[in-house]
Structure 1
């Protein structure tokens, strides 16, 4: 649907980060007026965040001079008027450079203001019978305590149009404390799940001050553990937790574990993201495809899912579950290389030991170094990229596992000819002959990176990254 520019409200920024003024499209005639006080599609079109309101409140003020605030409730608010006029005043109570910043505005029924969590909200009524209305994105509950600020605080020095000595103020608001940096509201945090894995460790390094949790510390398939965790403290949850034993997933025990970690866990996180409003970043796999896509451009984000084995099926189901979260990024990646045991380190070790391995040459894809995956994660979050699914790997031409092994050998002082080739079918026969499970693999794991590039991110060439990794 294309929206008419004439029907769109307009947005104005303020000195307080995240607090914006919305000039509504009010239609007046002899009977009164009509306005779309909140129209989600139009609000998003002008740049308002999709903050997910769940409750609408009305505060009716019978008399001119009623003054309320300054209250810093733990939710975002979209404030406007149904009748009357007010003088609105806001104070940033959040940690950071803007702590104590103020903004004031006279409002009538044609104006609305989006107030982010952590910004103190107050107003003074300028007309009798003023109805102040606001949407919030968390349910009010009795017993919730939140910071407040004195209306006459000399530090912020709000110039109230009606002197406070003549205003109508509740006893509680007459006894609010002064501005105190020690009570500044901390920013919501980032949580890394799967903190003990190679990707989780890399994410923890890239998000200073984040919380991390291994499965032993937080099992998201455990209802009691989930209920006890303070999800409301987080703005972003990075889900690097997964069951990645591709072959073991084909066993009865592995099948249960894979479905729990790769599908049930992400589905739980999607529900928590809806409830608490955090952005969910989930890491998926090229295995959600059967590997039959053309090498150029490779698998695209909108390609139908076609998983082959149990692990692949659980990852595909996890993608679908996470897509139901309002604020989500699903990052599908391939052939991840980070700290600890991995294919590159194994090939490097074999080269150093004088071993000449046989490596499959009919599976083609691109390496993804964890620092590249982390860089893409930061980019998408920091650039406020459109939510959805993105394919992420290092750049350069797609290569077979054998070609990658040969590149490692050459960088380790060995000849590429020391790495021979074999087919996936032959390799599987050897594994199965030893009584071990073997999962089907997609032969083409190369994924199109054009959607990611369209956000302004340019993937680093895989071989350049390999040089740095081995060095």
Structure 2
């Protein structure tokens, strides 16, 4: 008997992400009405905004019709249109809750959200039972599925009607026991730009698990017209875009301008479209160059962008595109140092070779080490931090490039007085090619990411570790 007048409410289960909803059903002598799926109300109660793309209905003539246990690579919202069912769910995902079981009855006043990888099975308790389910992917023969035998002794599901007395398909009878089930792995994570300084740090941070994929320009062309079909994108949960055009001076040339816009805007727009259409979380790395550097304080995430040169303009345009993606993190950073050619390695080489450099002293900011960026990205993903823009640089007192050069000389056992200050204008006075304008203040405020639970390391301490290794 359907219960009328219940308040919309949520019941958690022992299986992470498997959530039961009590639904308000309004009835009278004519019948009843309910809101079977109401995005705004249900997401407000914590239901994932899972983006359904298909609605299916299963009609069952007889009492005892039993289906499952099937685990699919998509999320499902299951509710009863008429009749009553006993439902059994078994966690078939990799992880500590693999094999966990939950059972309950569903009627028109109760629905359940079944996350990807949780096996589901239903036994009808009344004739002419129909249940409906919304799913957020279309069936595919290449998708990853997993199955469990309905009679598995480990799950030990207490079926209301014994299995030997009900109608079960021959296929369901042949499914494996729990010990032989292949668990469904987590959604894939794609890292683009995997051979760059940040890409190599992301490799070290995220490791070589089977669901992590690293792509380079040679293995995935982000500007290809076939990008939308280059992967089964519904299998991906996260894309970390570490690919970018970063030659700030060359970007001021005609060829450089074209290449910068292709990499930092056109390719970013393609990734944004894929992420939006497939419910993927998109992590994008931005730059202090989106600002003109005229502020007398550190820049916050809310400050309006005002780029000076082509590179900064392309990064600002890319940020604006990424901001439209429902699930996105824009990581704004500055003065990046990692495994590759960079300012610190240049200064170290000059010091060792006995060269006394002149270094720009009127640009101020903080070094950011790629290990810090990679760890910060993983923190935001692991903690499901609110989506949006986060500044992520080294912490500590800002310094000029000349100050940093002197610190490098000192830490490598050389006289820091060998470094001479120079203005940006003086440094580039005899440049033979175009020079991109630089922001004089590149210091970014770190309050937001610290409030999200991640505290970047002091850039001076990181520099000392970097030089020691």
TM-score (structure 1 length as normaliser): 0.91
1:24 is the counterpart of 2:23: yes
Mapping 1:239-250, distance limit 5 Å: 239-250=241-252
Name the counterpart of 1:114: 113
Name the counterpart of 2:408: 408
Shift of 1:360: 1.2
- Cα distance, 1:122–1:467 mapped onto 2, change above 3 Å: same
Name the counterpart of 1:309: 309
For 1:386-423, what per-residue CA distance to the aligned partner results, in whole angstroms no more than 9, with x for missing partners? 11111110111221111111221222233333222222
| Cα-Cα RMSD | 2.3
Aligned partner of 2:264 among 262, 265, 273: 262
Name the counterpart of 1:457: 454
Name the counterpart of 1:40: 39
- Cα distance, 1:182–1:113 mapped onto 2, change above 3 Å: closer
Name the counterpart of 2:463: 466
Shift of 1:172: 3.7
Contact conserved, 2:251 with 2:311, CA < 8 A, in 1?
Answer: yes
Q: Distance in 2 between matches of 1:190 and 1:411?
A: 38
Name the counterpart of 2:79: 80
Name the counterpart of 2:151: 152
Q: Distance in 2 between matches of 1:225 and 1:57?
A: 30
Name the counterpart of 1:294: 296
- Cα distance, 1:425–1:61 mapped onto 2, change above 3 Å: same
Shift of 1:206: 0.7
Shift of 1:34: 4.3
Contact conserved, 1:8 with 1:46, CA < 8 A, in 2?
Answer: no
Mapping 1:156-235, distance limit 5 Å: 156-181=155-180, 183-208=182-207, 209=209, 210-224=212-226, 227-235=229-237
Aligned partner of 1:281 among 276, 280, 283: 283
Shift of 1:105: 0.9
Partner SS for 1:218:
coil
Shift of 1:113: 1.4
Report the more deviating stretch, 454-463 or 382-391: 454-463
Name the counterpart of 1:420: 420
Report the more deviating stretch, 50-59 or 325-334: 50-59
- Cα distance, 1:252–1:387 mapped onto 2, change above 3 Å: same
Report the more deviating stretch, 174-183 or 100-109: 174-183
- Cα distance, 1:230–1:142 mapped onto 2, change above 3 Å: closer
Shift of 1:83: 2.7
Name the counterpart of 1:398: 398
- Cα distance, 1:232–1:404 mapped onto 2, change above 3 Å: same
Partner SS for 2:240:
strand
For 1:224-279, what per-residue CA distance to the aligned partner results, in whole angstroms no more than 9, with x for missing partners? 36523343433222111111111111111111111111111111111221233322
User: How many correspondences in the alignment?
Assistant: 461
Q: Distance in 2 between matches of 1:277 and 1:265?
A: 18
Report the more deviating stretch, 210-219 or 194-203: 210-219
Q: Distance in 2 between matches of 1:202 and 1:412?
A: 23
For 1:321-377, what per-residue CA distance to the aligned partner results, in whole angstroms no more than 9, with x for missing partners? 222222211101100011121111111222222222111111111111111111111
Partner SS for 2:251:
helix
Q: Distance in 2 between matches of 1:345 and 1:233?
A: 40
Name the counterpart of 1:353: 353
- Cα distance, 1:144–1:387 mapped onto 2, change above 3 Å: closer
Shift of 1:427: 2.2
Q: Distance in 2 between matches of 1:146 and 1:411?
A: 55
Name the counterpart of 1:3: none
- Cα distance, 1:422–1:200 mapped onto 2, change above 3 Å: same
